[in-house]
Amino acid sequence: MGVQSAMTNAARVIWVILFWVLPFVVSANADGIVSQVVSAPVAANGILRDERSGINIYLQTDQVRGLDFMDPKIPGYGLPPGGSMEVEMVSGFQRDKTIPLDDKSILLVVGTPQQGVPDEVTKHTISEGENENTFVIKTSGPDGLRPDQLISPAPGAAEDPIRAKGIKIIHVGRVRAFVSRGERGVVAVRIKDRSGNVIARGSADVEFFAKPSPQIFLTNIPHGQRNHNWQRLGPGQVVGAANNTLPLPLLLYDRNEGLERMGIVGAGVLSKAQLIAAKFEMPLSYGTDVAALIFRDTDEDKVLNPATDQVIGIVREEIPEGASGQQLLTPLVNEMPFLSVHTSNFNERAGHTVGGAIMQVVYIAGDTPGIYRLSFSMFSKPGDMTSPTSPPAVYTVVVE
């Protein structure tokens, strides 16, 4: 209980508000318009070797690279009139020919996490290309697919302060037509004009997991699929309490074996300040960018205590130079930490199809305007802070 009491009085006001709003291996090589390939955030085993593939292909431009391209202020890609996009599973992916390459097995996404634009909205067509491992997405209207027309119909998207527009991510594996084979896979994306000339291209590879391990992903299952990423607020304000902000949700899987969808229930974070107050020692090799550690309430007393509960993950942060005052916290409801719960508590259908458990966190912004990035990773061996970590799930917060 002493650790929980380390939260500030200002923060306590925030957690009451939350009560009312309740109801990856990164690419080693990437180029061109593709920045990375990661596991899809709706499948625990999306990049597990010899399992059905579920991946997200992140796009970028020459001007805006990497995760910065996910900023909803930045428009994504469209397709020119009469043009097309090809998505090729170049190597490392074995095709199941009984599953067609159509709108059931690929989805265009306007941002992260996972606001999709289905073909019934844009009237684009999806079919198999010149080889059995290639999707072809074609336009049907005279204007092609303009980025400003590509807006997600997700119920909560209409409430986003800034609507995400244009293609930024390609999700392969709604129905999983491929199996991951070997050590890594390679994918390629090409955009063509009316005459079939390639006007933009890129490729990237992704390393497959050799064995199951805990995983963590961004998710927008809570709050009607609103975009929880790239939220904006003022210095010292709190993501999850400030006007037009929401708590940051994360999807937790205990392991990614076969069709396993077991979630990690009873998890939350303890900030660096809380850990210092508890005299909890972290390995010296961690450096200074640790924002928090993720714990699971293993003694089931409904609170987090680093002396008795199991450490299962780590959160690192990138902050503007000289920033101070930022803190990542587990919200409190009725003076008790609101720890992770089964996904079905937020959405019964998602609980059945996606599984896992959802943990929410709130973030007190620092005193300096700029970009704050929080990278959440799970230890491959729960309780062992020296074990390898999972690919990070990264939230970006903008302080203005």
In the predicted structure, residue 260 carries a pLDDT above the cut 60: no
Q: How large is the average pLDDT for residues 240-253?
A: 95
Q: What are phi and psi of 149, to 5 degrees?
A: -90, -15
* Contact between 159 and 246 (Cβ < 8 Å): no
> How wide is the angle at C-alpha 84 spanned by C-alphas 81 and 89, nearest 5°?
165
Comparing 341 with 43, the larger pLDDT belongs to: 341
Predicted confidence at residue 23, as pLDDT, reads 31
Length of the chain: 400
Residue 79: strand pairing partners: 145
| Assigned token pair, 290 | 């640790």
Q: How large is the average pLDDT for residues 100-111?
A: 92
Predicted confidence at residue 154, as pLDDT, reads 83
Global pTM? 0.90
> How wide is the angle at C-alpha 111 spanned by C-alphas 178 and 65, nearest 5°?
95
pLDDT per position as a tens digit, 193-245: 999 999 999 999 999 999 889 999 999 999 888 899 999 999 999 999 999 99
Per-residue exposure over 73-94, b if at least 16 CB sit within 10 Å of its own CB, e if not? ebbbbbbbebbbbbbbbeebbb
Predicted confidence at residue 6, as pLDDT, reads 38
- 135, 122, 335, 113: which is closest to 230 by C-alpha? 113
- Using DSSP's 3-state secondary structure scheme, residue 377 falls into strand
Predicted confidence at residue 261, as pLDDT, reads 67
> How wide is the angle at C-alpha 373 spanned by C-alphas 209 and 111, nearest 5°?
70
- Say how many C-beta atoms besides its own lie within 10 A of residue 369's C-beta: 14
* CA distance from start to end of the chain: 34
Predicted confidence at residue 28, as pLDDT, reads 53
* Contact between 218 and 377 (Cβ < 8 Å): no
Predicted confidence at residue 45, as pLDDT, reads 87
